[in-house]
Amino acid sequence: MKTGVSILGIFVADTAYLASRMPRIGETITGSGFSVGPGGKGSNQAVAAARAGSQVSFISRLGRDTFGEMALKTYAEAGVTPKIVQMDDLPTGAAFIYVNDENGENAIIVYPGAAGSIDIEDVEAARETIENSRVFVTQLEQPAAAAERALQIAHAARVTTVFNPAPAEPFPETIYPLCDYIVPNETEGAALVGFALPTPDDARRAGDELLRKGAKTALITLGERGVLYHTDNQSVLVPAVASGPVIDTTGAGDAFVGGFSAALARGLEPVEAVRFGCATAGIAVTRRGTAPAMPKLEEIEALLSRGAAA
């Protein structure tokens, strides 16, 4: 019996710097805060899905170092089952994260480290894990060839596939037909379709283009405007779910993907799963950090029961 969520992606140690603005080239400015914690899109999504009540397996590579130990401790605490290869010749990855200390907006540079060497052999070694899950998730921080092979395995095994095309890197067009759900944000969506998405109608037009390319469902996350759920016969703008003042948007997309995937794995209908993902993100943005900000199932359910909307 298929159960839970499997995720292929990377872990990096997030080094987050708070300041009123980014420095210019050659300039040094004083920041207002600093933290180091667990990050990486796939890893964040795994923690979010586990805290949201799903069984989760995370497939990746780590270095055999302090940051790798941080990753394994994170998974033990969150209840994520690691399917990890540890390497002696490459370090665990790291990310520079600038967070605006006034509005929570961010800018990020990621070095994937050991996870950047994930290959098709890693995916084949995890075949059983992927085939036995109800939902499979991947992104583009690891090589696209590995993501595509994993999606092929999941698709052939009739596992629901969720593809988060982030960061906005080129990938083979053959990935689209493997996607039950493709989940870009508005910036990534614009990169995929070649036009900006300032309005819901633009997002729907982008959704049509993603469906034309072969995806079954387009889920376009639009920040405070919510998430567009778009199929051949249904298009619903699901509103954002507010939980409190927004202080850090860094992990919002990962919170949504993790929460949405966990809800799908539990059997929620897709639009309800989108709303569950919105609530997950709505809580995460009220906290500092990425993985540490992911809420627990009872928090998400309590927020949804209050019917809060942004």
Question: What residues pair up with 39 in beta bridges, in sequence order?
Answer: 12
> Residue 27, annotated ligand binder?
no
Q: Is 253 annotated as a binding residue?
A: yes
CA–CA dist 230, 220 (Å, integer):
8
> How are strands ordered across the β-sheet holding 33-39?
33-39, 12-19, 92-100, 106-113
43 is in an annotated binding site: yes
**Enclosing H/E stretch for 92:** strand 92-100
Known binder of ligand: residue 224? Answer: yes
Token output for 168: 């906005």
Q: How far is it, in rounded angstroms, from Cα 185 to Cα 89?
A: 34
Residue 42 known to bind ligand: yes
Of 56, 191, 237, 227, nearest to 134 by C-alpha is 56
53 among annotated binding-site residues? no
* Exposure of 203 in the CB half-sphere (CA atoms within 13 A): 27
Strands 218-221 and 227-230: antiparallel
- Establish whether 221 is an annotated binding residue: yes
Residue whose pair of structure tokens reads 């966990």 in the numeric block:
262
254 marked among binding-site residues = yes
Whether 81 has a binding-site annotation, put simply, is: no
**Is 141 a known ligand-binding residue?**
yes
Question: Taking a C-beta distance cutoff of 8 angstroms, is the pair 200, 225 a contact?
Answer: yes
The two three-digit tokens of residue 226, written as one number:
């919510």
Residue 208 assigned ligand-binding role: no
Catalytic residue among 65, 180, 202, 254: 254
Active site (annotated) includes residue 254: yes
223 is an annotated ligand-binding site residue: yes
What residues form the annotated binding site for ATP?
A: 185, 221-226, 253-254
Q: List binding-site positions.
A: 12-14, 40-44, 141, 185, 221-226, 248, 250, 253-254, 284, 287, 289
Bind-site residues for substrate? 12-14, 40-44, 141, 254
- Residues labelled catalytic: 254
Annotated binding site for K(+): 248, 250, 284, 287, 289
